[in-house]
Structure 1
């Protein structure tokens, strides 16, 4: 049975074709984020949308339309602008956290040690075309502790390739758990899982 809640932001699954016995993963495979220029462009679009919404609402409330009509068309665009702004703020917060964890992994990866584990549960999210967009694995380490880690289709190591459900590690699959210190929710942890569709 899986633990409740999402996987900690620093616990990431790497889906690999074979184990690399020489060294720990070179980087931690977080999902791809918008760059600074793209974020500024999106914020500019949100600002323009807010200004346009304000102008439209002014004309709406000074017209002879029914009050209930005004309320509906005030709520809808206002909710969209506010919701999109909140989403952008949260995305930037996660991006800063991921960047800090990536730097921490790069600085400490030489001291990372692997341990064995097994997949005890999995949760798979699909795209509208049926390919895998993300999956979360619950793994049990050799000492009996449980870890939840997530794989993202947009992670750099995924190469934006489509992954089928048959490529998601099954319950009972062997994994390697890489960590550089105490196992906490704030520490970067990489769970390496073999792609079950690869025949070695």
Structure 2
């Protein structure tokens, strides 16, 4: 199963007035993929954010709180926030590869 069968954006049809073989028309407005440096910086920032999110979770479980439910609630919230950020970052990488693949296939 190819990438076009999985990604719905690969099925969009754009009508253009001209056709220059081998070149993606500029009026398709395909956003370029983020550079390697930008992806690296974002990955490092995500890693730092993950470590920074672990600090409040450790504090919640080592210092006195109103109860275990309090620590659990906020630890789960912080964990879901980190997981959501990572999911968004990884999805943006996947979509960038998809756009690059689609433009290369043109």
TM-score w.r.t. structure 1 length? 0.41
Distance (whole Å) between structure 1 residues aligned to residue 62 and residue 54 of structure 2: 12
Farther off after superposition, 28-37 or 76-85: 28-37
Alignment of 1:150-165 (within 5 A): none
Match of residue 27, structure 1, among 24, 49, 52? 24
Q: Alpha-carbon deviations, 1:61-113, whole Å to 9, x = none?
A: 011102121112111121111111122212212211221221121xxxxxxxx
**Which residue of 2 is the match for residue 76 of structure 1?**
77
Classify 1:12/1:35 alpha carbon distance in 2 versus 1 (closer, same or farther; 3 Å): farther
Distance (whole Å) between structure 1 residues aligned to residue 103 and residue 46 of structure 2: 29
Classify 1:15/1:32 alpha carbon distance in 2 versus 1 (closer, same or farther; 3 Å): farther
| Count of residue pairs brought into register by the alignment | 95
Q: Alpha-carbon deviations, 1:9-34, whole Å to 9, x = none?
A: 32345476xx33xx347316333442
Distance (whole Å) between structure 2 residues aligned to residue 84 and residue 15 of structure 1: 35
- 1:96 corresponds to 2:97: yes
Write 1 or 2 for the structure with the bigger share of helix: 2
Distance (whole Å) between structure 2 residues aligned to residue 37 and residue 94 of structure 1: 17
SS at match of 1:38: helix
Write 1 or 2 for the structure with the bigger share of strand: 1
Q: Which has the higher contact order (CA 8 A, sep 6+)?
A: 2
Structure 2 unaligned regions, length at least 5: 1-6
CA RMSD in angstroms comes to: 2.4
Distance (whole Å) between structure 1 residues aligned to residue 105 and residue 32 of structure 2: 18
